[in-house]
Amino acid sequence: MAKRVGVEVSIAVADAVKLANADVIPAYPITPQTHIVEHLSDLVANGELDAEFVPVESEHAAMSCCCGSSAAGARTFTSSSSQGLSLMSEILYHPGPMRLPIVMVVANRALAAPISIWNDHQDIMVQRDIGWIQTFAENGQEAFDLTLHAFRVAEDRRVSLPMIVNIDGFTLSHVIEPIEILSQEEVDRFLPSFKPRVRLDVKKPVSMGPVGVPEVYTEAKMAHNEVLKASKKVVVQAWKEFADLFGREYHPVETYRVDDAEALLVTMGSISETAMTAVDAMRDKGEKVGLVRIRLWRPFPGPEFRKAVGKAQVLAVIDRCLPPGAVCGPVGEELRSLFYKVPGAPKIFSFVAGLGGRDVTVERFNEIVSKARAYAKKRPTENYEVIGVREQ
Amino acid sequence: MIPEFEKFKGFSAKNLPKDEPLAPGHRACQGCGEVLALRMVMKALGRDVIVCNATGCMEIISSPFPQTAWNVPWIHVAFENAAAVASGVESARKALMRKGRIPKKHVDILAVGGDGATGDIGLQWISGAFERGHDLLYVCLDNEAYMNTGVQRSGCTPYGAMTTTSPPGKKSFGQATWKKNVPAIMAAHGIPYVATASPAYYLDLMNKVKKAALVNGPAYVHIYSPCPTGWGSAGERSVEYSKLAVETRVFPLYEVIEGRYIMSRKITKPKPVLDYFKGQRRFRHLTDEQISSIQNKVDVEYEKIIKLSEMT
Ligand SMILES: Cc1ncc(C[n+]2csc(CCOP(=O)(O)OP(=O)(O)O)c2C)c(N)n1
Ligand code: SF4
Ligand SMILES: [Mg+2]
């Protein structure tokens, strides 16, 4: 039976990996991800998890080691953040087209310079196009559940793609929350053992990662893109089954008090909890405000998002990332293209907030909503606005 | 002594494996010494091996999808990380065998890369894998430059050699640095087995590769590999150069077994380095003075290795 315990979210994530009975864990320390791999290292050292813990010499090696391990048929997990994720970058592009279902939890953190250990989404946004399935967790329970879900989806033979679960560094990774930890027997009902489509095996030799000449490169990229897009069905199915088994429901896009809403906040990750409090307060004052939260970031759930928005006329999109010189933040950009020339599309306003650990408070959400509403009447001069900047 | 070596009788002209785990029909240049060396490596290892290939000539010429020259499981991920990929394969097999999910059977894990992949960009990944003690062998095919990208200098390019990024000119005489001693760096990790080899001495090469595979833990073999395309030499002379490099003491053959240097072939009457340089366009511009300074360095380096071999 599942047990509800007060536990640090990183530890719960590590417990999920243990319950998934991962085989190989290449790991390298970086704040704020470190507690996850430290705990896994403990579990292996104590014999509670039968896995190879590979203390590699860099994150680039961690991801390279993951590729070899997954290709050899092992359930493979790693975790990283920020500078480490950037160091992996070259290799992050490989497991997608190579169809290696590695699972990684990213404890999101800002990118240098200036160096910062605190939370935002810049580390993962520069890896937006690596071709992994990506989800964002809102709270500790979700971080635990999504980690198990990631193994299930990634390794599904129809998918066979790598998958990232994003959890906000510190604000999620380091907090203690009441989390229902599933029992082994429960997890086993949800997560079958890993049976790879192909693996490096002397009995059936295959060549993996060949050179793609111009005659095949486009087709290889297309094939990857198609399977990534098609994975949404499996992502949703697995969530449905999870709900049937354990009662917790997850969807690609979540809504909060969107009925009859005129303006909607759009968020990803743990700031959504504060956003809900802000929505409650605004609703109490009679404002027709709601919240849409994106859980599945890649493949982007376009139809689900449009449906979630309903008839709302104003979207206030919050990006935890400031791409210098760009038109606006990546989530803002995504939604603007999604609604481009769609009849009855809402007006979309882009806000950048919560960089490098700056709090996004209820007051900030109020400010964002009222600005968005004002801009709906009078077009702003800029494509986006940075919120919460110190006056001096 | 390493117990795993006891059962190994060695290859001879009589028991050379006929099987070709690396099939013909690949796209290497005529007279490529690197693919010749790789073919011997694979003959020595047989079919119970998983190959992790770094980006470079050998990866490109053997894997143009949908064709492959590999009769054994093979994976390529990137340029610098073959050793880390191999660490992953080895760890996976260890875990899966222990957990009863794949049959318990020893399979050799080979990581293979060029001199650039090994001695320059990939050094850290190899160092990590060796330090962690994975049971794998790493083979460096040293053609003394980045050939796949069009003959740029690497840390293994010999002093004076012309490459596209170490061109001789009014203010330059070619490569301005001495060849990096990569086998010594590998040996400094304290791994059980390090060796150098040359395809002209094919039995020696195959025996060393086999020993590297037999060793329990990391092993390293550094193989001299002529590249007619990059060196501006005649394709039909690749084996001859492989021999001359040894006979001139330019590329000494030795093993480092558990830290002990053992000469595979003592060159008591060395030929002058000039004999080796002749016919290679990359050395054509060198002056007599430069050649004699290279000769000195070659003698000094050779003596160092002899001393090391006499120490134990
Ligand atoms: C990170 C990275 N940097 C550069 C390259 C370009 N590159 C591919 S192969 C190669 C040279 C390979 O040289 P070497 O390892 O000596 O192998 P060879 O081709 O000579 O056999 C280079 C520079 C790359 N693929 N990846
Ligand atoms: S360029 Fe040199 S190493 Fe590369 S295939 Fe041709 S001969 Fe061989
Ligand atoms: Mg080379």
Q: Is A55 at the interface with chain B, CB within 8 A? A: yes
Residue A357 in contact with residue A119, Cβ under 8 Å?
yes
pLDDT of residue B75: 98
The single-letter DSSP state of residue A346 is P
Q: Where in chain A is the domain with CATH 3.40.50.920?
A: 253-386
Q: Which residues pair with B238 in a beta bridge?
A: none
CB A297 within 8 A of CB A146: no
Q: Nearest-CA distance from B111 to chain A in Å?
A: 11
Handedness of CA A205, A211, A216, A218 (dihedral sign): positive
Distance A104 CA to ligand 1 centre (A): 28
- HSE of A342, CA atoms in CB hemisphere, 13 A: 18
Nearest CA to ligand 1 atom 1: B79
Which among B55, B67, B89 is the top mutation candidate for probing chain A, defined by the most A β-carbons within 10 Å of its own β-carbon? Answer: B89
Q: Which residues of B215-234 are buried (b: 16+ CB within 10 A; e: fewer)?
A: bebbbbbbbbbbbbbbbebe
Q: Does A207 touch chain B (CB under 8 A)?
A: yes
Ligand 1 interacting residues, C-beta cut-off 6 A: B 34, 55-58, 79-80, 113-117, 143, 146-149, 154
C-alpha distances (whole Å) from A321 to each of A113, A350, A353, B179, B310 are 14, 11, 8, 46, 62
pTM of the model: 0.98
How much is the pLDDT for B1?
Answer: 76
The answer, for A206 touching chain B at a CB cutoff of 8 Å, is yes
Quote the pLDDT of residue A182: 98
Q: What is the pairing mode between strands B219-224 and B254-257?
A: unpaired
Distance, in Å, from the CA atom of B5 to the CA atom of A376, rounded to the nearest integer, reads: 79
**Which residues in chain A touch residue B101, judged by CB atoms under 8 angstroms apart?**
73, 193
**CB nearest to B81's CB, from A54, A60, A202:** A60
Residue with tokens 């390794």: A155
**Residue A68 contacts B where some CB pair is shorter than 8 Å:** yes
Tell me the average confidence (pLDDT) per consecutive run of 10 residues in chain A, 392 residues long.
95 98 98 98 98 98 99 98 98 98 98 98 98 98 98 98 98 98 98 96 98 96 98 98 98 98 98 98 98 98 98 98 96 98 96 98 98 96 96 83
pLDDT of residue A1: 83
Question: How many Å apart are CA A130 and CA A252, to the nearest integer?
Answer: 19
In chain A, which segments carry CATH 3.40.50.970?
3-246
For residue A257, is it left (φ>0), alpha (ψ between -120 and 50) or beta?
left
d(CA B231, CA B163): 8
Nearest CA in chain B to A204: B73
Ligand nearest to the CA of B56: 1
Is 3.20.20.450 the CATH classification of the domain at A3-246? no
Q: How far is CA A349 from CA A317, A369, B28, in A?
A: 6, 10, 56
- The 3-state DSSP class for residue B249 equals coil
The ligand 2 atom at the shortest distance from the C-alpha of residue B141 is: 3
Which parts of chain B register pLDDT below 70?
312
A-interface mutation test, from B87, B136, B149, most A Cβ less than 10 A away: B87
Report the C-alpha gap between B195 and B264 in whole angstroms: 9
Rg (CA), chain B: 19
Phi, psi of A23 (to 5 degrees): -95, -40
CB A64 within 8 A of CB B54: no
pLDDT (0 to 100) of residue B42: 98
Reduced to 3 states, what is the DSSP secondary structure of residue B182?
A: helix
> What CATH number belongs to B3-311?
3.40.50.970
CA distances from A330 to A41, A78, A352 (A): 35, 25, 10
C-alpha of residue B142 to centroid of ligand 1, in Å: 12
C-alpha dihedral (A367, A371, A373, A378), degrees to nearest 10: 170
Tokens at A17, concatenated: 């990996």
| B85·A70 Cβ contact <8 A | no
**In which element (H, E) is residue B243 found?**
helix B238-247
| Amino acid residing at A26 | P
Q: What is the pLDDT of residue A84?
A: 98
Cβ distance B92 to A94 less than 8 Å, yes or no, reads: no
B248 Cα–ligand 2 center, Å: 23
- Alpha-carbon span A287 to A273, nearest angstrom: 19
CB of B57 closer than 6 angstroms to any ligand 2 atom:
yes
Cβ A200–B50 below 8 Å, yes or no? Answer: yes
Residues 90-119 on B with a CB inside 8 Å of A are 90-96, 98-99, 101-102, 107
At the second CATH level, the architecture of A253-386 is 3-Layer(aba) Sandwich (3.40)
Which of B66, B91, B125 comes nearest A69 by C-beta?
A: B91
- pLDDT for the residue numbered A283: 98
Q: Residues of A with CB below 8 A from B58's CB?
A: none
Three-class DSSP category at A133: strand
Q: Say which of A50, A64, A220 has its CB closest to residue B85.
A: A64
Name the residue with the closest Cα to ligand 2, atom 3.
Answer: B227
Task: Say what the ipTM of the complex is.
Answer: 0.97
Inter-chain touch B78–A193, beta carbons under 8 Å: no
- Residue with CA at minimum distance from ligand 2 atom 5: B28
Residue A56 confidence (pLDDT): 98
Q: How many Å lie between the centroid of ligand 2 and the Cα of residue B117?
A: 15
CB within 8 Å: A65 and B85: yes
Atom 9 in ligand 1: residue holding the nearest Cα: B56
